[in-house]
């Protein structure tokens, strides 16, 4: 059992951060040492720390009101150092930001992403699109391109990471790529490897495009999960056709 609880509630343009000792925790410490740290967009960092004796109110925790300086994604970590206990929560100020990251060699995935962008953009969601490029694009005929085949089976490629791309800066991400020889295209596989451990638990959707009417999306989802993301939605678009409404995708990504 975690010894502490942490709640973050928005109150207008401020947030109330409540860190407290769980009532069921029995301890005989004379003093408690607490620390709360908030990390946010553009290296915004705010910290509070205190020590309180058992007779003092703050021994059991504190409720802090704070005004985040900018819009974006924030991560709060509360620690009760005396018990080596810590809890984390995320919150967002302003519009939800969704990043769509895709690779497309012959244009099908690109068209699908363009359609998605026009459907996702709304008053509550801001969408940004990042197309992955390999330093040396695969030459046709693609099916017998030895480099493409080797890199696809190894899941590595000389992919250019979009400059300044930070997965933690988004509320959620969508990864989309074609299927090559039954596997997610090498540039996407390689890109996901480069993000390993950078933003654990961040919700993502995985979209594969293929010629065959098979659900290949679990294969991309496995790569995203191996990088630490939480896959909340996945689908395969055969010949670039979306099988369902995008509203489900948004609902899943924003965890409504």
The whole-angstrom separation of Cα 28 and Cα 240 is 62
Q: Could you check whether the bond before residue 141 is cis, i.e. omega within 30 degrees of 0?
A: yes
Rounded distance, CA 94 to CA 144, Å? 48
Nearer to ligand FMN, 97 or 105 (CB): 105
Nearest residue (CB) to ligand FMN, 20 versus 238: 238
Task: Tokens 């940004």: give the residue.
Answer: 128
Choice between 166 and 215, CB closer to ligand FMN: 215
Among 179, 199, 232, 250, binds ligand FMN (CB under 6 A): 179
Token pair of 232 as six digits = 């909340």
Residue 95: Cβ-neighbour burial (10 angstroms; 0-12, 13-18, 19+): middle
CB of 110 to ligand FMN, least distance (A): 6
The three-state secondary structure class of 217 is: helix
Please report, as residue ranges, which positions from 32 to 91 form the binding site for ligand FMN (by CB under 6 A): none
The CA distance from 98 to 120, in Å, is 9
181 binds ligand FMN (CB under 6 A): yes
We find the least distance from the C-beta atom of residue 88 to ligand FMN, in angstroms, to be: 36
CA distance 121 to 34: 41
Q: How far is the CB of 10 from ligand FMN (least distance, A)?
A: 39
User: What residues from 197 to 236 belong to the interface with ligand FMN (CB under 6 A)?
Assistant: 209-212
Please tell me whether residue 105 binds ligand FMN under the rule CB under 6 A: yes
When binding is defined by CB under 6 A, the residue of 104, 171, 190, 217 that contacts ligand FMN is 104
Strand partners, 48: 36
**Dist. CA 166–CA 164, nearest whole Å:** 6
Give one DSSP letter per residue of 14-42, joined into a string: EEEEEEEE-TT-----SEEEEEEEEEEGG
180 binds ligand FMN (CB under 6 A): yes
Least separation, in Å, of the C-beta of 21 and ligand FMN? 53
Helices 186-194 + 217-226 axis angle, to 10: 20
Interface pattern 109-138 for ligand FMN (x via CB under 6 A): xx----------------------------
- Residue 183 CB, nearest distance to ligand FMN (Å)? 8
**Does 171 help bind ligand FMN (rule: CB under 6 A)?**
no
Residues in touch with ligand FMN (CB under 6 A)? 104-110, 142-143, 148, 178-182, 209-212, 240
């Amino acid at each position: 059992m975690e010894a502490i609880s942490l709640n973050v509630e928005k109150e207008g343009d401020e947030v109330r951060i409540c860190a407290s000792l769980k009532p069921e925790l029995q301890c005989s410490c004379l003093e408690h040492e607490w620390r709360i740290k908030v990390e946010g967009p553009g290296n915004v960092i705010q910290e509070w720390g205190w020590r309180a004796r058992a007779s003092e109110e703050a021994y059991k925790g504190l409720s802090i009101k704070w005004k985040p300086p900018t819009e974006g994604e924030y991560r709060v970590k509360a620690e009760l150092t005396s018990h080596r206990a810590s809890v984390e929560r995320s919150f967002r100020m302003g519009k939800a930001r969704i990043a769509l990251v895709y690779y497309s060699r012959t244009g099908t995935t690109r068209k699908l992403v363009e359609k998605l962008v026009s459907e996702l953009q709304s008053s509550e969601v801001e969408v940004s699109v990042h197309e992955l490029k390999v330093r040396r694009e695969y030459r046709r005929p693609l099916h017998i391109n030895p480099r493409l085949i080797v890199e696809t089976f190894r899941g590595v490629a000389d992919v250019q990471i979009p400059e300044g791309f930070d997965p933690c800066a988004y509320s959620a991400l969508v990864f989309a790529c074609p299927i090559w020889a039954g596997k997610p295209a090498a540039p996407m596989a390689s890109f996901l490897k480069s993000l390993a451990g950078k933003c654990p638990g961040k919700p993502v959707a995985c979209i594969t495009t293929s010629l065959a009417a098979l659900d290949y999306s679990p294969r991309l989802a496995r790569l995203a999960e191996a990088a630490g993301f939480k896959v909340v939605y996945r689908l395969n678009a055969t010949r670039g056709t979306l099988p369902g409404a995008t509203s489900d995708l948004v609902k899943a990504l924003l965890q409504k």
